[in-house]
Amino acid sequence: MAHTHQIKQQTSAFKIGVLLNSIFIVLEAGYGLSSNSLALVADAGHNLSDVLGLLISWLALWLGQKSANDKYTYGYKSSSILAALFNAVFLLVAIGAISIEAIQRLSNPGPVAEWDVIIVAAIGILVNGFTALLFMKGQKHDLNIKGAFMHMAADAGVSVGVVLAGFIILQTGWYWLDPIISLIIAVIILIGTWGLLRDAMNYSLEAVPNNVDQTAIYDYLVSQPTVNSVHDLHIWGMSTTETAMTVHLCRSTLTDNNAFLERLNKDLSAHFPLTHITIQIELGKVDYETTDNSI
């Protein structure tokens, strides 16, 4: 029930976020065209890419709820991993675009319509900041939601920088300050995006998720009564919120095997963030030197 409630909250967040940002894009592009401001039109295009990122994350959330079938036996849960990876790459592309534009303006700084830019950027802070807040809670436990959060938080940060630069330029006439602040913000976004990209790559390569202690799980399994050895322990993320584990256990006896498996499954689910557990029981003891062991 709690998971279903989280899905409904996240779905609502995506609906509101896409709607607000779409309205803002139309207003920004319209105002940019009417005021002949290329900067505002370009920023509207950038915000359009953010909406695309939100839609991709939303699609992954929806696909993750679809049932498994003969071809996709785990369902489409891993689509959230692809969405997180895509959003990380998308953010890197946005950082590159911001940096290139900033360097070009730095080499040839010129007057800008400060008040027009300040007003539109201030609206952007409200829209992107509010949207980021909608994903604030979910991004702590879901890399896909974190990707959406990063997009909105990055845009809000850019807008804050634009507003500050606009006011300082009004007072000083330092037109070079605008691209400098843009470059600083790009570096800040890069730092946050790098962690998102690293985690998304780890999920894609089926690495052990950061919130799972494989050594602790191994120690727990090998400490169970009648368990002689543990081998072929594999842990990976089925999605950005669900973790699977498979393992072979060698027992000294197969007595009460069903009860043993039932208890062990419950204990593992209770003590570790594992959602899909597969355990194979074998009788005897395995030679570690001749067996694939991930520890």
Most distant CA pair in the chain, distance: 83
Sign of CA dihedral 269, 272, 273, 276: negative
Identify the pLDDT of residue 241.
87
Nearest Cα neighbor of 40 from 116, 97, 108, 91 is 116
Indicate if the pLDDT at residue 11 is higher than 60.
Answer: yes
Identify the pLDDT of residue 93.
86
CA distance 136 to 54: 14
CA distance 265 to 236: 17
Q: Residue 139 — pLDDT band, cuts 50, 70, 90?
A: confident
249 bridge partner residues: 230, 281
Indicate if the pLDDT at residue 290 is higher than 70.
Answer: no
CA distance 237 to 210: 10
Domain edges within the chain = 2-204, 214-290
Q: May I ask the CATH architecture of the domain 214-290? A: 2-Layer Sandwich (3.30)
Q: Report the interhelical angle of 38-63 vs 114-134 (nearest 10°).
A: 10
Q: May I ask the CATH architecture of the domain 2-204? A: Up-down Bundle (1.20)
Look at 42 and 259; give whichever has higher pLDDT: 259
248 bridge partner residues: 231, 280
- pLDDT tens-digit profile of 64-85? 888 888 888 888 889 999 998 9
- CA triple 238-239-243, angle to 5 deg: 50
Give the mean model confidence (pLDDT) for residues 15-23.
91
227 bridge partner residues: 251
Average pLDDT, rounded, for the chain: 84
- pLDDT tens-digit profile of 147-185? 888 888 888 887 887 788 788 888 887 878 777 877 887
pTM metric for this prediction: 0.79
